[in-house]
Amino acid sequence: MAVLKVFDPFVICLLCLILSASNFCNGGITSSFVRKEYSPDMPLDSDVFQVPPGYNAPQQVHITQGDADGRGVIISWITPDEPGSNTVLYWSENSKHKNRADGTFVRYKFFNYTSGYIHHCTINKLEYNTKYFYEVGIGNTTRQFWLITPPRAGPDVPYTFGLIGDLGQTHDSNVTLTHYESNPKKGETVLFLGDLSYSNDYPYHDNVRWDTWGRFVERNAAYQPWIWTAGNHELDFAPELGETTPFKPYTHRYYVPYESSHSTSPLWYSIKRASAYIFVLSSYSAYE
């Protein structure tokens, strides 16, 4: 749907894989939109990077599929000042009864950057095709979002995926996201083809740009799953900074349901969603 700035050989390769695997789909050509070649990063004080109000308010909220066939969801968010609560409250549109699920949080350091408290909570056994509301945070600073579960997976189940890769955080990245959101085909899930924040382009891989990116995409990624793949910009392999664990920021921030396909690594896994059987492979995994 929104396939942009596809200069990266990795992305092209992955796209070919996806396209060749989808002989039976016919989404047609949905747009002739082509992005310009260069656009500067949005400044730190941009509206899209605003920190939500309230002490320790959850930010960078995003969801992804949480199991093998679409009844599970992983909800992730970051609290900046203290751990706060790991709990997600959730209820279906047709019910007042609030369920709860408890997650965990992780943190990491990268050179002289220390992350906030990165929460991940998996909710299982949701009903198919149902709208749920969910709430994260505690006390005065709770935030509410919603999501819609997919239909039961099967061979002939209409569903609309968006494709976005190489997003970054330039002014054009914002146009790209707006373009996806306003597409009349109404994408229900994003297949993200790798290269998220481009924070590694900054001196010391300034991880603050991972946080701004998380706040930027929240407006979509909190409401529909983004299925993550790592690209070369997620490597963050920087021996000169003493950082020799590849994919450290990415794997702490973006949990994926790799265990549900009995994978041994978050860099490769598979899921079923509606009529698609999705295989995620990272061609940079040899660094592991």
Ligand X SMILES: *[C@@H]1O[C@H](CO)[C@@H](O)[C@H](O)[C@H]1NC(C)=O
Minimal distance, residue 168 CB to ligand X, in Å: 13
| 80 contributes a contact to ligand X by CB under 6 A | no
Comparing CB distances to ligand X, the nearer of 129 and 178 is: 178
DSSP string, 226-254: EEE---GGG---BGGGTB-STTHHHHHH-
Comparing CB distances to ligand X, the nearer of 26 and 112 is: 112
* Residue 71 tokens, joined: 């009844």
Cα 27-32-38 angle, rounded to 5 deg: 125
Report whether 14 contacts 6 (CB < 8 A).
no
Report whether 42 contacts 243 (CB < 8 A).
no
Name the phi and psi angles at 252, rounded to 5: -80, -35
Binder among 59, 64, 115, 174 for ligand X (CB under 6 A) = 174
Minimal distance, residue 288 CB to ligand X, in Å: 27
| 42 contributes a contact to ligand X by CB under 6 A | yes
Minimal distance, residue 37 CB to ligand X, in Å: 18
Half-sphere exposure of 87 (CA within 13 A, CB side): 9
Report whether 65 contacts 273 (CB < 8 A).
yes
Comparing CB distances to ligand X, the nearer of 29 and 44 is: 44
Report whether 257 contacts 71 (CB < 8 A).
no
Binder among 46, 92, 160, 261 for ligand X (CB under 6 A) = 46
| 171 contributes a contact to ligand X by CB under 6 A | yes
Comparing CB distances to ligand X, the nearer of 33 and 204 is: 204
Spatial CA neighbour of 255 closest among 246, 244, 245, 267: 267
| 39 contributes a contact to ligand X by CB under 6 A | no
| Interacting span for ligand X (CB under 6 A) from 28-36, 40-48, 60-68, 89-97 | 40-48
What CA–CA distance (Å, rounded) separates 105 from 114? 14
| 47 contributes a contact to ligand X by CB under 6 A | yes
Token pair 């009844």 is found at 71
Size of the site for ligand X (CB under 6 A): 12
Comparing CB distances to ligand X, the nearer of 132 and 145 is: 145
Minimal distance, residue 82 CB to ligand X, in Å: 12
| 112 contributes a contact to ligand X by CB under 6 A | yes
Comparing CB distances to ligand X, the nearer of 81 and 93 is: 81
What CA–CA distance (Å, rounded) separates 275 from 70? 11
Binder among 48, 89, 157, 241 for ligand X (CB under 6 A) = 48
Comparing CB distances to ligand X, the nearer of 171 and 185 is: 171
Comparing CB distances to ligand X, the nearer of 156 and 240 is: 240
219-278: which residues touch ligand X (CB under 6 A)? none
Q: How far is CA 245 from the centre of its chain?
A: 21
C-alpha to C-alpha distances, 127 to 31, 130, 147, 160, 263, nearest whole angstrom: 33, 6, 12, 19, 25
* Residue 250 tokens, joined: 């990415």
| 139 contributes a contact to ligand X by CB under 6 A | yes
Spatial CA neighbour of 163 closest among 198, 194, 192: 192
Binder among 91, 108, 113, 279 for ligand X (CB under 6 A) = 113
> Which residues of this protein are in contact with ligand X, per CB under 6 A?
42, 46-48, 112-113, 139-140, 171, 174, 178, 204
